[in-house]
């Protein structure tokens, strides 16, 4: 893998934006599986990556890539900071404040905005201009597209840097409005919720729901399988945020989904 | 093992089901009141078989044998030896009830009476029978000779034995059965509702455009079609009618509430591919 030696186009850092190895540096923080997924994605495209989890997953991922380091210290010369907490708002806020203080003023801050809008997250930091929301859910990082949502404060220059960054990761970018759930998370999580209602009401088994949706409508995965891949706790977090934000009864969460978010698929454990 | 299978209604669905069953070695009595419809159905089957042979998916021998297993009939009493009869007539509760009433007298007491309904209550259709325990839903998907899935629907009074035998029959004809309780939309039509409903809400709230939503859903999660492309293909009028029916059958459950965007498009006659204009424009079909 060729190392990515240039800093991001458009960033005007006062310090060198490359690490000692000469790679452009990305700092990733959060408490979801996205931290590992994004670390591998960025390292695979030549970035030097430092990752930190608020609560390290068990077992903690082992990275074979030399270009991924685990560490709390934020390199001040990082080109991009990425905050990937989905459910814990307190962690998210703490992470963003820390990143905002440590990074150069022009470095963009990408924040997962599926449960809190990027605009709301911008109210937590001084560098409001640098925030751009991303519609990231675990298990979809390998897909070819990413949806981003600039805040009302984000200037075109920052958006251009972010576009360039995702281009360097071979991603097509769709710029959407900054709303809780964005596009794909909102649709997918509602599919999982409906499937959970069907299982809860004993209309059909989880296996039959997945089989039906894959064979009857050509879905690439069944909704229960998706819930499991994303993590039911993350689906629950997105739906809770939508329910709070949109205040509509249509976003009422299946009690079974809530249980799944707490226990996982208990029927598979027996 | 089922040897004799009856189908009532030789439309697109009925002929597709006949094709699948005949290919799996079951003798099919294909009934329709209209002789012309029957002839057209046989022609459709013949053409599909020819396509299958040309594509190398079927042999000439297979299709000749299978075609010989489909027996067109215009008398309902010809279904009397069938072990299972499925109706695939118009989606009208009164028509289906009336048909079931006749089928109960024209078939053996052990014959399973199945309905291919996608939107009506199996329990309501079975309510006219003296023995509603012999009625079951057997919901095929279009095109029935290609789509592997069938939903086996347990009516309120369907016996567990009938459900099991229907599952066995579906497997015998090469389908993958899933079992569902008799509730509006069963599995597929119900679980799929948010795919369209949330997409319409996202559009209505101006979160993203039609094209963006379709791209994000396809390239972001691997769906073969985006929600708007799919609504255009299905027909926005059909999709709207299904959503409206679900909403009514669930007595106003907000998750199934239709969206005004869809209603306006139906009012404008912009109902998808078939009208040349839906969420996208289809010049060639105009």
Q: Which residues of B touch A143 (CB under 8 A)?
A: 219-222
- The answer to whether A51 touches A35, Cβ cutoff 8 Å, is yes
Q: What are phi and psi of B146, to 5 degrees?
A: -105, -45
Taking residue A218's Cβ as centre, other Cβ atoms within 10 Å add up to 12
Burial B223-233, CB ≥16 within 10 A → b, else e = bebbbbbbbbe
B217, A201: Cβ pair inside 8 Å? no
Q: Rounded to an integer, what distance in angstroms lies between the CA atom of residue B152 and that of residue B64?
A: 30
Q: Which of B204, B221, B239 to mutate to test the interface with A (most CBs of A within 10 A)?
A: B221
Residue of B nearest to A175 (CA): B208
Least Cα separation, residue A57 to chain B (angstroms):
25
Residue of A nearest to B190 (CA): A194
Of B178, B208, B224, the CB nearest to A218: B224
Answer yes or no: is pLDDT of B257 > 80. yes
The rounded mean pLDDT for chain B is 96
Residue of A nearest to B206 (CA): A177
For residue B2, give both structure tokens.
Answer: 């089922």
Q: Rounded to an integer, what distance in angstroms lies between the CA atom of residue A191 and that of residue A201?
A: 16
For residue B234, give both structure tokens.
Answer: 């299905």
B194, A194: Cβ pair inside 8 Å? yes
Q: Which residues of A touch B147 (CB under 8 A)?
A: 215-216
With pLDDT > 70 as the criterion, what percentage of chain B qualifies? 99
Q: Is B189 a catalytic residue?
A: yes
* Residue A57: per-residue pLDDT: 86
* Residue B41: per-residue pLDDT: 97
Residue of B nearest to A242 (CA): B198
- Does the predicted interface ipTM exceed a cut of 0.85? yes
Q: What is the sign of the dihedral through the CA atoms of B239, B242, B248 and B254?
A: negative
Q: Which residues of B touch A209 (CB under 8 A)?
A: 178, 187, 191
Q: Which residues of B touch A145 (CB under 8 A)?
A: 215-216, 219-220
Q: Where in chain A does DSSP place strands (E)?
A: 25-30, 48-53, 68-70, 80-83, 109-112, 131-134, 145-150, 172-175
Least Cα separation, residue B222 to chain A (angstroms):
6
Could you tell me which residues come within 8 angstroms of residue A106 by beta carbon, excluding any fewer than 6 positions away? Answer: A11, A12, A13, A130
* Residue A96: per-residue pLDDT: 97
Of A140, A176, A188, the CB nearest to B208: A176
Of B217, B255, B257, the CB nearest to A184: B217
Find the range with the poorest average confidence among A19-23, A253-257, B31-35, B155-159. Answer: A19-23
Answer yes or no: is pLDDT of A12 > 60. no
Which residue in the list B139, B239, B245, B259 is annotated as catalytic? B139
Predicted confidence (pLDDT) per residue in B42-76, tens digit: 999 999 999 999 999 999 999 999 999 999 999 99
Rounded (5°) CA angle B199-B147-B191: 35
A190, B198: Cβ pair inside 8 Å? yes
Classified as helix, coil or strand, A11 is coil
B145 or A264, greater pLDDT: B145
* Residue B32: per-residue pLDDT: 97
């Amino acid at each position: 893998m060729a190392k990515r030696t240039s800093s991001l186009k458009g960033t005007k850092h006062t310090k060198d934006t490359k690490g000692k190895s000469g790679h452009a540096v990305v700092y990733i923080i959060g408490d979801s599986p996205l931290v590992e997924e994004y670390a591998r994605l960025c390292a695979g495209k030549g970035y030097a990556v430092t990752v930190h989890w608020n609560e390290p997953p068990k077992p903690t991922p082992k990275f074979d890539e030399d270009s991924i380091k685990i560490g709390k210290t934020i390199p001040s010369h990082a080109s991009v900071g990425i905050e990937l907490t989905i459910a814990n708002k307190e962690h998210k806020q703490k992470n963003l404040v820390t990143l905002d203080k440590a990074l150069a003023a022009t470095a963009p801050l990408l924040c997962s905005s599926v449960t809190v809008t990027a605009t709301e997250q911008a109210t937590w930091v001084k560098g409001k201009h640098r925030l751009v929301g991303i519609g990231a859910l675990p298990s979809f990082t390998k897909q070819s597209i990413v949806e981003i949502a600039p805040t009302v404060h984000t200037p075109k220059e920052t958006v251009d840097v972010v576009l360039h960054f995702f281009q360097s990761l071979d991603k097509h970018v769709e710029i959407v409005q900054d709303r809780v759930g964005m596009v794909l998370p909102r649709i997918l999580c509602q599919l999982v919720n409906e499937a959970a209602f069907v299982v809860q009401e004993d209309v059909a088994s989880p296996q039959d729901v997945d089989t039906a949706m894959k064979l009857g409508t050509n879905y690439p995965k069944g909704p229960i399988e998706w819930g499991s891949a994303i993590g039911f706790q993350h689906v629950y977090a997105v739906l809770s945020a939508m329910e709070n934000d949109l205040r509509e009864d249509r976003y009422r969460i299946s009690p079974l989904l809530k249980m799944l978010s707490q226990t996982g698929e208990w029927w598979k454990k027996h | 093992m089922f040897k004799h299978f009856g189908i009532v209604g030789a439309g697109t669905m009925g002929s597709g089901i006949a094709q699948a069953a005949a290919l799996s070695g079951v003798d099919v009595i294909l009934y329709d009141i209209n002789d012309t419809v029957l002839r057209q159905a046989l022609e459709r089957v013949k053409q599909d078989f020819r396509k299958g042979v040309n594509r190398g998916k079927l042999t000439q021998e297979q299709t000749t044998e299978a075609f010989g297993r489909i027996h067109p009939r215009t008398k309902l009493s010809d279904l009397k030896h069938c072990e299972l009869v499925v109706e695939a007539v118009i989606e009208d509760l009164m028509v289906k009830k009336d048909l079931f009433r006749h089928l109960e007298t024209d078939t053996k007491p052990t014959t399973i009476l199945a309905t291919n309904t996608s939107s009506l209550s199996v329990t309501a259709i079975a309510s006219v029978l003296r023995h509603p325990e012999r009625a079951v839903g057997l919901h095929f998907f279009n095109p029935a000779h290609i789509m592997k899935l069938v939903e086996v629907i347990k009516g309120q009074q369907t016996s567990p034995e009938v459900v099991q035998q229907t599952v066995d029959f579906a497997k015998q004809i090469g389908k993958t059965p899933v079992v569902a309780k008799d509730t509006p939309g069963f599995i597929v039509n119900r679980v799929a509702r948010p795919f369209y409903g949330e997409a319409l809400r996202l559009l209505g709230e101006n979160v993203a455009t039609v094209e963006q939503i379709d791209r994000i859903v396809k390239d972001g999660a691997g769906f073969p079609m985006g929600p708007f492309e799919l609504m255009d293909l299905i027909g926005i009028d059909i999709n709207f009618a299904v959503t409206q029916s679900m909403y009514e059958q669930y007595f106003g459950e907000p998750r199934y509430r239709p969206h005004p965007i869809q209603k306006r498009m139906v009012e404008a006659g912009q109902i998808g591919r078939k009208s040349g204009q839906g969420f996208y424009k289809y010049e060639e079909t105009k």
